[in-house]
Each structure stands twice: as structure tokens, then as C-alpha cells.
Amino acid sequence: MVTPTRKKERIDQLARSAAEPADKGADTGVSLAASAWRRLRRNPVFLFGAGIILVFVLGAILSPWLAPYDPAERMLADQVVKARNVIPPAQPGHPLGGDDQGRDFLSRLIVGSQQTLLVGVCATLIGLAGGMVLGTLAGATAGWVDSAVMRTVDVMLSIPGILLAVSIAALFPKPGLYTVIIAVSMVQVPVFARLLRGSMLAQRASDHVLAARALGVKRKSIVFRHMLPNSLGPVIVQSTLVLALAIIDAAALSFLGLGNPDDNTPEWGQMLGNAQGVIDSHPNLAFWPAGCIIVVALGFTLVGESLRDALDPKNRR
């Protein structure tokens, strides 16, 4: 209906008709997340890590059905001789033997994944939430609010992570699952806060934020539409890496006796702690939970690393 009178329009019309057939397969409106996913799908490292996580998460969810026995039942108690350090060995029906109280070790290992993963995920989410609030506050305001928040964060960062977690866990009168989650998440808050503030500051100096300011966009939109979404990439990556760390930290707390005191709901770190007395004669009791922790942590780390590559703007086409 529009007659292309002007040269510019004619050129564009030409370009459009020429581009049309080739454009059919082009993806319109592909978001950053979608294009990152396209790259991830073909990345063997990501697939391997995601496979590990999937296996363990499914195992944790299905553990009541997967575990052959009740993890709290002392079914092999008659084979335990405390004084001589005799612990039930592997035998038909109990491929990994029993623990020092005669409970089926395989069942405890499978059911233990529940608590361990729960602590890891919850601690990461809480740490992420806290870190995002502080990081956004600091990155968006600058000035004295920023300084106040960041100095607090620096103080927290200056204390070694596990020491901080132990001190926080020790603040609670009764150790338990929640004290572990809170202690581990508090350690991660400053990490997330600092990371997010850093990338928010980088965004603040970026051209598109300057362009948005030149359009008179309100500060709230600048922070939440222009700065925050662009700063999330490193934070997402960090959270997958932190998941691995949180699992290790939680295990360490249990190992140190600051975890869930209820011996009947198993947890890998706690199993590891129980094994330390007999590690000379029965290294297998330490081997399995430690191995599980390492493999899960590896899975999350691999996913984190490949996410980092996929979200890297330099790879963006």
C-alpha cells in the first residue's frame, strides 16, 4: 500500500525480499537464556555434570523406595563387637555391609543423599537471596550505603568460611538441620553480595545504562531492568559452584559434630564423622560417603563451569 518513493525505502524493500527466504529458519525473539540453552545442550561437560546431578536428585527423591532397608534399623547388630572394633562386612543382601551400629550401610548412603542435597540447595538459595539483597543495595546506591554494606561484607569475608559457619552454628542452643542450613548460607551471603555488587558497578558504567539515563529512565527501572538482569550471569554460575561448596561445608559441620544430632536420619557428613574412629580398620565406611560428596560436588561444578561459558557474552552471536 505504501509506494516506495524514497530511495531508502526501496533499498530496504529490496533487502527484505532478498532476505525473506533465507530468514525462514532464523530464530526470532531468542532470549539470552534460550541461546545459552542451545549451546549447553551440545556441551558434553554440561551433559555429564547434569547427568550426575540428575542421578543423585532422583536418588534422593526416590530413596524411600530405592533403599533396601530402613536406615535406622540395627539389623546387623549381632555382628557388631564394639570392644574389638568388629563391624559387619559386605555380605549377601548387604553389598556394603553395615555401620558401627549394625545398620545397613547402603540404605544409609541412599537415604543420606536427601539430607545432604536438601542442606546444599537450601543453604545456597538462602545465601543467594541474602547476597542479592545486599549486593543490589550496594550496587544500586553507591555512596555511604554501599560503603557500609561492603565493609560489613568484607569483615565476613575475612573470616575463613568454615570457621564462620562453625561460629554461627555454635550460636544456636541446639544443633540441627536448620542450624546447619543457616550457618552454611551465612557463609555464602558475602560472596554473592560482593560478586553481584561488582557486576552491578560494571553495568552502571556501561554504555546502555548511560543510554538509559540519557532517556530519563527512572532509577528503579535502571536498577531492576537495566542493571540487575545484566549482572545475574556470574551470580547464577557462582550459585552452582556454591552448591558444591555448601554440600562440603554442611558435611564438614556434621563431621565436627555440629550437624543433626539425630543419628537415625543419616547424612553423608555425619556418616563420615562416625567413620573417623574406625578409619584404620574400615576405610570403606569413610570411602563411600566421601566419594558421594565428591561426585555430587563435581557434578555441580561441571554444570557451573559450562554455564559460565554458555552465559559469557563473548560467545554470544
Which residue number, 163 or 210, has a Cβ lying nearer to another protein?
Answer: 210
DSSP of 280-291, one letter per residue? TT-THHHHHHHH
Query: Residues 12, 73, 154, 262: which binds another protein (CB under 8 A)?
Result: 12
Q: Are 275 and 286 in contact (CB under 8 A)?
A: yes
Q: How far is CA 197 from the centre of its chain?
A: 19
DSSP character at residue 67: -
Which residue number, 166 or 212, has a Cβ lying nearer to another protein?
Answer: 212
Dig out the grid coordinates for 282 from the structure: 574400615
**Residue recorded with cell 568388629:** 86
Which residue number, 82 or 220, has a Cβ lying nearer to another protein?
Answer: 220
Query: Residues 38, 41, 151, 316: which binds another protein (CB under 8 A)?
Result: 316
Which residue number, 7 or 82, has a Cβ lying nearer to another protein?
Answer: 7
Q: Are 97 and 88 in contact (CB under 8 A)?
A: yes
**Residues with Cβ within 8 Å of residue 134, at least 6 apart in sequence:** 149, 153, 189, 190, 192, 193, 196, 197
In the complex, least distance from residue 29 CB atom to another protein, rounded to whole angstroms: 4
Helices (H) and strands (E) in the chain, counts: 13, 0
Within positions 179 to 218, which residues make up the interface with another protein, using CB under 8 A?
206-208, 210-218
10 half-sphere exposure, CB direction, 13 A CA radius:
4
Contact characters 258-297, another protein, x per CB under 8 A:
----------------------------------------
Which residue number, 203 or 270, has a Cβ lying nearer to another protein?
Answer: 203
Sign of the torsion formed by the C-alpha atoms of 303, 309, 311 and 315: negative
Residue 29 binds to another protein (criterion: CB under 8 A): yes
Within positions 212 to 251, which residues make up the interface with another protein, using CB under 8 A?
212-218, 221, 225-226, 229-230
Dig out the grid coordinates for 29 from the structure: 525473539
Which residue number, 9 or 262, has a Cβ lying nearer to another protein?
Answer: 9
For 267, the 3-state DSSP assignment is coil
Contact characters 147-186, another protein, x per CB under 8 A:
----------------------------------------
State the residues that interact with another protein by CB under 8 A.
8-9, 11-13, 15-16, 19, 26-32, 206-208, 210-218, 221, 225-226, 229-230, 313, 316-317
